[in-house]
Each structure stands twice: as C-alpha cells, then as structure tokens.
Amino acid sequence: MLLSDTDETAILVSARFTFPPNVNALVLQKAQPPPGWAFCVFKIVSVDAMGKATNLRDDVASAAVRAVNRVSRMTGRGSGTVIGGRVGIKISPDLVTSLSRGRSVLLVSGTNGKTTTTSMIVAGWGVPVTTNQTGANMPAGHVAALVESTSAQVALETDEAWLPATLATTGPRVVVLLNLSRDQLDRANEVRQMAERWRKALETHDDPRLIVVANASDPLVVYAAEVATNVLWCDVPTTWLADAVSCPKCTLAISHVGSQWHCSCGFAKPNNITTLLGDELVIDGVTVALDLSMPGEFNRSNAAMALTALHSVDVKLDEAVVRINAVQSVVGRFSVRRWQGHVLRLLLAKNPSGFEAMLATIVNDESDVWVAINARIADGRDPSWLYDVPFERLRGHRVYCFGDRRLDLATRLDYAQVEYVIVEDHAQLPVAKDTISLLANYTAFSDWLEKSEP
C-alpha cells in the first residue's frame, strides 16, 4: 500500500506489492506524471529492509521491477514489462546475471520466428517456464520476466542485436539461432554485420557447455555458429536466401543446388546434421510425430528447432511434440478475431522473408485480403522493404490497404498490378462474409489485436 504520498516522494509498503521477504518498503522519488498517469517514479531513494540479505541490491532492484511494472499496468500504460526492467537495471546493472544464476536458460534469436519458437519451447517443456511472452526481448524485458517467475526453466526470446550481450549475462544452456535476413535496416544497418557480431560473441564465449541449435540452411547463421564448440545443426526448409547470395566469408557467389549450398572458397552447408525436416521430422535418428495446429511451412521449421533445443536439455521428444502440436496461436498470431462484424485471421509479417512466408498461407481463391503497414520505430522507419515482398502473388485478390503507410503499400500493389483499395473510411469496406486474412507488420498488428475481439 501507499504509506505516504507527498508532491516529491511516495513510500510503498509490501502489503500491496510482492517484495522479497526481507524488504518492507520502498521510498520513491516522484516525477511529474504524464497525462493519464496516476503517478510516476523518478528513482528509488531508499529501501527499508530487515534481516541480512545476501544480495540486498539485487533484491531491491527486483522489488523495484515488480513495483514499477505493477504501477505501469494499474495506470493502464502498456503491458508493464519494459519500464520496470529499466529501473531494475539502473539499480543493479548486473541484475540479468544474478537473476539467471542457477537456472536453465534457453535463448532464441533470429530475424523471424523468435516469439513463436520461444512459445513452442515453453509449451513443449511441460513444466512451468519463465519467459518474456510479450515480445519484450531486450535486457529490460528479460529482467521483468526473470523477476516475475521463479521457475528454474527459462526461455527468453532475444533481439538479434542484443544476443551477444545476453549470451554473456545469462550464461545460457542453449541458444537457438533461427535465421538472419533483412529487417529494420534503419536500426540494424546491415544483416551481414549482425552475423559477424554473433560469430564474434560465440567465438569468445567461454562456457564450453553451451549448446548452439543452428539452422544449417541459412548461410549467415552457419557463418555465425560454425565457431561454437557444440552445434546441433538443423536442416530445415528456409526459403528466403536473398541475403545470402554472396558468401559471408569471401563475398563470392554461393551456389544453391536443391537444399545444398556451397562457395568456391570451401564454405558450405554443414553435413553433420542432427535434425532433418522433410515430410517427416527426424531428430537424432528418431522420427518425431510433428502435426502442428498452426499453419505455415515456417512454423514446422520453428517447431523442429524448438524440439531440438528441448531434446538437448533432456525433455522427452514424444511428449514435447504432443504439447507443441496443440498450440493454436501465439500472442494473437494466426488467431481468428472479430471486428465490426468482420471475421479476421491475424497474420504478423514484419519483413520480406516473413511476408513471403505469410503470403504462402493465403489460399488462391480470389478472396479479399487486408494488409496494414506502419513505419513507426518498432517497425523500422523505412518501408522500402515493401518492394522486396512478392506482392505479385496477390493478383486476383482485392487488397484493402490500412495503416499509417497505406499509400506506400497501395503504390507497391499498383506497380505489381494488384487490385487495391486505400481505406480512408471504414464505411467503404464491403459487408462481411467469409474469414479475411489480415497481414500486418509489428505495430499495425498490435493495433488490430487491440481493437478486435476474440
């Protein structure tokens, strides 16, 4: 409860917030709250604690994470994960490290499929798992997740750029490297640099027990992972290879023949494969009965890598696959929602490779398709990537254009000779009939998830 509340400070005591057992109260310095906020914390001034804490600083930081996130949720601002994490790291910079100690951490990174694969690992493990379900995949989100649950099993989706730092701070048992392709180039600049940074991080990582589960079909992932001591190579279908035409080692052309690839410099697809996904999934010589509820070839690849990771921490494959098969949707992705009488299937597609994969799930039946595009910070400010998406495949459909950048989308569709409607006013939408596929990039997807209903 709020014990005292003046203009400058507030004192929180543990009746209302779950503090560690040795912490009684927090004294907070307040800041001017933004409109709509009940109050706003500037910093934590002091802590009233009892007993002898082994690491008081971390306990306080953890308590602060919980308290701030709860306030953030109570005031209705966001899902309350990132802001508390930031406060916690400010108090104790090594918080991720101390919260990870003694736990089995699995990290999942890559351009596409992070959230889905992490969710599959959580579902497949069959025990309570600490995870960052909201997609807050940088240190602040990791801290929030590690504080909220005490489970010894941890699965963290990790932003590609933060993977090197997170490897060092969490000391994971397993890291899953899904794929690397162009995404948010205004933020990440160049995808080959990302592969280089992953490689450096794995090369200098000093824990010989680390297991790397890596996609052998993606040359950039192989370039990053080949320096690691223990790699479980997964041969899974990977359609987007436009970013790996020139060899990451020598820049010459990589030849792709069927599912094989090699460069004249000797860099080639690894042949010591652990996991093979064709019509059947085989992990370590054992056939696994993969039969997903979620659509898409890419989700089969995600599941194969999730199962390989679980297998490496001794989860029984035959039991894990049953649990993964049952997953229907992941944080709204692939879910069927209702909005103003329309029935929508929500598909998240953030970048060219993701879009290409999602377009492949749209049935060729002349149905209407809705597409929503934003270019906010979380999406990447530059929508040029729309020209890397094979929208020509939507010829025969009428496409309704939504989102902040609907004119960029309409222009792209116009040049692709796809029939389009720029939606300025919802009254112009046709009367609802069948389920409509709605493809949206990151923030547009969140907007639609929020305004639609189950």
Partner 1 sequence: MTTICVLYPDLLGTYGDGGNGLAIYERARRRGLDATLVQAGLNDEVPDAHLYLLGGGEDGPQSLATDLLRRSSFVSRVRDGAHVVAVCAGLQILGLTFCVEGNEEFEGLGLVDVVTGRGERRSVGELATRVGSQLLVGFENHGGRTTLHAGVEPFGSVVKGRGNDALHDGYRTKNIWATYAHGPVLAMNPWFCDEVLATVTGRELEPLASAADLLYQERCRVLSN
* Interface contacts to partner 1, rule CB under 8 A: 182, 185-186, 189-193, 242, 245-246, 248, 251-253, 381-382, 384-388, 407-408, 410-417, 420, 422
Q: Which is nearer to partner 1, 42 or 387 (CB)?
A: 387
Least gap, CB of 194 to partner 1 (angstroms):
11
Scanning 126-238, the segments in alpha helix (DSSP H) are 139-148, 163-170, 185-188, 191-204, 219-225
Q: Which is nearer to partner 1, 148 or 218 (CB)?
A: 218
What is the three-class DSSP state of 49? strand
Least gap, CB of 65 to partner 1 (angstroms):
32
Q: Which is nearer to partner 1, 58 or 160 (CB)?
A: 160
Q: Which is nearer to partner 1, 57 or 393 (CB)?
A: 393
Least gap, CB of 357 to partner 1 (angstroms):
18
CA distance 418 to 395: 5
Least gap, CB of 269 to partner 1 (angstroms):
18
Helices (H) and strands (E) in the chain, counts: 14, 21
Q: Which is nearer to partner 1, 73 or 192 (CB)?
A: 192
Q: Which is nearer to partner 1, 45 or 245 (CB)?
A: 245
Least gap, CB of 368 to partner 1 (angstroms):
18
Q: Which is nearer to partner 1, 190 or 291 (CB)?
A: 190
What is the three-class DSSP state of 188? helix
| CB 432 within 8 Å of CB 341 | yes
- DSSP-based helix, strand, coil % in the chain, nearest 5: 35, 25, 40
Q: Which residues, in sequence order, are CB contacts of 68 under 8 Å at separation 6+?
A: 41, 80, 83, 84, 87, 88
Least gap, CB of 155 to partner 1 (angstroms):
32
Scanning 180-329, the segments in alpha helix (DSSP H) are 185-188, 191-204, 219-225, 297-312, 317-325
Count of CA atoms in the C-beta half-sphere (13 A) of 184: 22
Q: Which is nearer to partner 1, 17 or 402 (CB)?
A: 402
- Rounded to the nearest angstrom, the gap between the alpha carbon of residue 261 and the centroid of all alpha carbons in its chain is 28
Where does residue 313 fall: left (phi above 0), alpha (psi -120 to 50 degrees), or beta otherwise? alpha
CA distance 215 to 298: 12
Least gap, CB of 398 to partner 1 (angstroms):
14
Least gap, CB of 411 to partner 1 (angstroms):
5
